[in-house]
Structure 1
Amino acid sequence: MEKIIQKKLGLYIVLFSLIIVGLLSFKWVYHSSKVTTLVLASGAKDGQYYAFAQALSKIVEKNNSKIKIQVIETEGSKKNKELIQQKKVQLAMLQSDTSIEPSVKVVSFLFPEMFHLIVREDSNINKVSELKGKRIALMPKGSGSYALFWPLSKHYGLKEQDFKTVLLSPEEAYKALDLGEVDAVFRVSALGNSALTQLLQKPEIKLVSIDQAAALQLTLPVLEESIIPKGAYNGFIPIPADDLPVVAVRAILVTHKNINFDLIYEITRILYESRNELVKENASAAMIRQPESIQSLGFSFHDGALAYYNQDQPNFFVTYAEPLGLLTSLSVLGISSLWQLRLWLNNKQKNRADQYNIELIKIIEQIHQTNDLHKLELIHRQLLKIFEQVVIDLDKDRISPESFQSFAFPWEVAITTVRHRETVILNSRLSNS
């Protein structure tokens, strides 16, 4: 009676293990073929945010077909902040001066966005303080440019009543400046904006320096000291005529803290390791830099991005969760077969097959202990030779059909374990390369 119960229990263990193996295999195949789509909030279609987002989407999909980034047009940083905090999008581009909730995490610093003070030559504006009494075109409320103008003007001792402001879109502002309807335009923009480049080709339009970056950082720590390089807008003339000191903020790519670790790690990896491809699509990518001191910048980074910046590979158990689960199930199968073997040996039902089974037990232990692919190949050949000899013994009645069955199961476990061990080692070496 006890033997019957033990046999039934062993059968249940085997069946349960097979079910687990099947479910894990299905899950692994499903996730391996699944394409994940992330929505990225950018900016206006004629702006740098939208153009960069489109380039990023293209390069990410090119380098990993299982990740698609859908770019949507928005009004800019303020709207993007709302969308990401409300989980209506999974990625967003913001200016680095934008305050965000703890649930929103940074993926990467992107390109710098320079403070551009564009004026007419006949306006007699040569520095920020000379905006007093002038007509200034600002970007619409809610834009990063609009929000940053006020602390800038305050730093230079200007009050709101000291000048007349007009809120216009970038195109409307450039047109108004060209026609003399305003004296100056203030806009925060990355280098390379085509409309701005075209405007600056006119001899009556010029850029004004915005210095005192260190002093401005006392009230706005996110500002960077920067320059608009000589010839940035025309190398022949050149425009500007010399390196022009300005201040800048940096565009940042953010996500929600609950977005999958592996997705964000992969996007960060592509962003930096496929930089040359990205630059061909959008020149602003050339100015992307890794955070120099993540802890001191006041930003909270997504764990997936941090893993890349720290040059750590994703946690082995996270990366190989499915294959490890499969290996665990195979181990259960192996244990159950060995348990059956132990019952066989304890009941003194020893025959020629026992020696083979004992040998298999030792081989399985060797498989788990080796990290050498050459040794695994030798073990694989050894298993094939053992199987060939057992078949010969079965044919010559040296072992019974029942004994052959007791051998076949652990032999299959040993062969499967060898193959899986080879896969784990190869994947580990690829991840570390």
Structure 2
Amino acid sequence: MGKWGRWGLGFVVLASIGIAIASITKLIYDQNRIYTIRLATGGPTGEYYAFGQAIAQVTETNEPKIRVEVMESAGSNQNMDDINTHTADFALVQNDTPVLNNVRAVAQLYPEMFHLIAANDANIRTLTDLKGKRIALMPEGSGSYNLFWPLTEHYGLTKYDFQFNSMSPTDAYDALQAGNVDAVFRIIGLGNSSISKLLANNRFQLVPIDQIGALQLTQPYLKSTVIPKGSYDGGSPIPSKDLPVVAVSSLLIANVNVNPDVVKAITRILYEHRNELVSINPRTANIQSPEASQNLGFPLHEGAHAYYTQDNPSFLVTYAEPIGLLLSISILLCSSLWQGRQWLISNQKDRADRYNLEILDLIEKIEQAQDFDELQNLRQQLLEILRKVVVDLDIDRISPESFQSFTFPWEVANTAIRHQEIILSGRSKPVPQPNSSNLV
């Protein structure tokens, strides 16, 4: 075996060892890695934040390698932006929020209902009665704030038809109780405790919101629903009858680059640990079915899709890393056996090396050739070497790789012959004689 052949074998063995070590290291790292994910929710007193806390607690119990950091936020629009820029990994948003490029769906959670709470003495019985009134809205950028405007526009109102102020939910409720506003508008899950406390005061009532069919012509993500009789107080009851309202769905979304295994684990928490979630936050009882989560109008995250479409992962997916490790070890073993065989026959000189040495000697003779006959003889020798090499290649006495290494010096020798022919041709040309007319 030649020097370069031994170097090549050594490189293959070292590369195989490197692959095996890298596979083992990655396997150990992945088995022990702790993933910290950032979940953007909403204000600290809102339903999104409480929902996020429930997910964090149940995830910590059932997926010890995943830590959920619950983040406060201004609302759906900010959450969508944070997911798009990967400032957050997961987020809760309303399904009317415009979807951005790097955002993928994970699950449809629960319906959020439009709540218009008005003071009894304000005489607000429908949305058209908001004209000339004072309205408390949620903070700008929130889903509640953004959806209020297309809703009132449908009823023929503009922002100049009433007074409005955006404020936190707590400030809005305080303003209504103090008589500083006539109504509060908020989109929130059914049964919110703050709403219950507000409605316990007989001074306030829920206002119905209908015309859902017409609303869906411009806002197709809206759904028709009802606030069931007695939802906020069964004794009174509040409301006194089923109240027609409009709803949107809350969604769990993720950045497209979040690890699919992490997304799959979080999706599994939502559906397979529902009882644990409900014990922390009853709102989680309304999480939609997996079938509903697969038809959200924008792409599912790869990890969520894997959960929804595969009851059990394939053998290759489950054991990809052990298979990679086994393959690397197999390559290492085969390479070692192959090297051992090559070392056993290393005492036989590589024929291609001998041919290369013959050609190098021939090149030296070509450069020293003094006439065309000598050069022709060297050409015949060069062709004879080529013939022998081709025969040896055909009967496997040299390898295709050795043949490739032979072709380069052979081409050099062939070029040297042509070059020497040019030199000898120049020498054989007669020297021009000076014209006598040019002699002085």
TM normalised by structure 2 equals: 0.72
Partner of 1:77: 76
Q: How far apart in 1 are the matches of 2:91 and 2:207?
A: 31
Residues 141 and 4 of structure 1, relative CA distance in 2, 3 Å threshold: closer
Q: How far apart in 1 are the matches of 2:119 and 2:253?
A: 37
Partner of 1:129: 128
The Cα shift of 1:235 comes to: 2.1
Partner secondary structure for residue 135 of structure 2: strand
Q: How far apart in 2 are the matches of 1:90 and 1:8?
A: 47
* 1:93 and 2:100 correspond: no
Between the two proteins, the alignment pairs up a number of residues equal to 346
Q: How far apart in 1 are the matches of 2:239 and 2:334?
A: 75
Q: How far apart in 1 are the matches of 2:56 and 2:263?
A: 13
Q: Which runs of 5+ in 1 are unaligned?
A: 347-433
Partner secondary structure for residue 160 of structure 1: coil
User: 1:102·1:300 contact (CA, 8 Å) conserved in 2?
Assistant: no
The Cα shift of 1:294 comes to: 6.3
User: 2:108·2:292 contact (CA, 8 Å) conserved in 1?
Assistant: no
- 1:142-175 CA-to-partner distances (Å, cap 9, x unmatched) read 1211111111111112222222222222112112
User: 2:262·2:303 contact (CA, 8 Å) conserved in 1?
Assistant: yes
Partner secondary structure for residue 28 of structure 2: helix
Partner of 1:47: 46
* 1:224 and 2:223 correspond: yes
1:153-168 pair list within 5 angstroms: 153-168=152-167
Partner of 1:149: 148
User: 2:109·2:288 contact (CA, 8 Å) conserved in 1?
Assistant: yes
Q: How far apart in 2 are the matches of 1:330 and 1:150?
A: 64
Partner secondary structure for residue 160 of structure 2: helix
Partner of 1:420: none
Q: How far apart in 1 are the matches of 2:162 and 2:155?
A: 13
Partner of 1:59: 58
Residues 332 and 74 of structure 1, relative CA distance in 2, 3 Å threshold: same
The Cα shift of 1:14 comes to: 5.8
Residues 295 and 49 of structure 1, relative CA distance in 2, 3 Å threshold: closer
Partner of 1:267: 266
Partner of 1:290: 289
User: 1:228·1:244 contact (CA, 8 Å) conserved in 2?
Assistant: yes
Q: How far apart in 2 are the matches of 1:100 and 1:205?
A: 36
Residues 289 and 295 of structure 1, relative CA distance in 2, 3 Å threshold: closer
Q: Which runs of 5+ in 2 are unaligned?
A: 346-440
Equivalent position amino acid for 2:88 in 1: V
Partner of 1:117: 116
Q: How far apart in 1 are the matches of 2:223 and 2:125?
A: 21
1:309-324 pair list within 5 angstroms: 309-311=308-310, 313-314=312-313, 316-324=315-323
Q: How far apart in 1 are the matches of 2:237 and 2:294?
A: 40
Partner of 2:298: 299
- 1:19-45 CA-to-partner distances (Å, cap 9, x unmatched) read 432331122111100001011111110
The Cα shift of 1:330 comes to: 2.9
Partner of 1:252: 251
The Cα shift of 1:290 comes to: 3.2
Residues 87 and 12 of structure 1, relative CA distance in 2, 3 Å threshold: closer
The Cα shift of 1:223 comes to: 1.0
The Cα shift of 1:11 comes to: 7.9
Q: How far apart in 2 are the matches of 1:191 and 1:69?
A: 25
The Cα shift of 1:113 comes to: 1.0
The Cα shift of 1:313 comes to: 4.2
Q: How far apart in 1 are the matches of 2:291 and 2:218?
A: 21
Q: How far apart in 1 are the matches of 2:206 and 2:277?
A: 29
The Cα shift of 1:316 comes to: 4.7
User: 2:107·2:293 contact (CA, 8 Å) conserved in 1?
Assistant: no
* 1:235 and 2:234 correspond: yes
Partner secondary structure for residue 50 of structure 1: helix
The Cα shift of 1:261 comes to: 1.2
User: 2:105·2:296 contact (CA, 8 Å) conserved in 1?
Assistant: no
Percent of residue pairs identical: 50
User: 1:138·1:187 contact (CA, 8 Å) conserved in 2?
Assistant: yes
Q: How far apart in 2 are the matches of 1:159 and 1:344?
A: 89
Q: How far apart in 2 are the matches of 1:83 and 1:176?
A: 31
- 1:31-62 CA-to-partner distances (Å, cap 9, x unmatched) read 10000101111111011111111110111121
User: 2:80·2:100 contact (CA, 8 Å) conserved in 1?
Assistant: no
The Cα shift of 1:100 comes to: 2.0
Partner of 1:34: 33
The Cα shift of 1:193 comes to: 2.2
- 1:203-230 CA-to-partner distances (Å, cap 9, x unmatched) read 1111111112222111111112122122
* 1:210 and 2:247 correspond: no
Partner of 2:390: none
- 1:171-199 CA-to-partner distances (Å, cap 9, x unmatched) read 12112222222221111111232221100
Partner of 2:189: 190
Partner secondary structure for residue 233 of structure 2: coil
Q: How far apart in 2 are the matches of 1:75 and 1:5?
A: 66
Residues 179 and 316 of structure 1, relative CA distance in 2, 3 Å threshold: same
The Cα shift of 1:10 comes to: 7.6
TM normalised by structure 1 equals: 0.73
Partner secondary structure for residue 162 of structure 1: coil
Q: Which structure has the larger Rg?
A: 2
Residues 246 and 60 of structure 1, relative CA distance in 2, 3 Å threshold: same
Q: How far apart in 2 are the matches of 1:331 and 1:237?
A: 75
Q: How far apart in 2 are the matches of 1:196 and 1:8?
A: 78
The Cα shift of 1:291 comes to: 5.4
Q: How far apart in 1 are the matches of 2:272 and 2:317?
A: 22
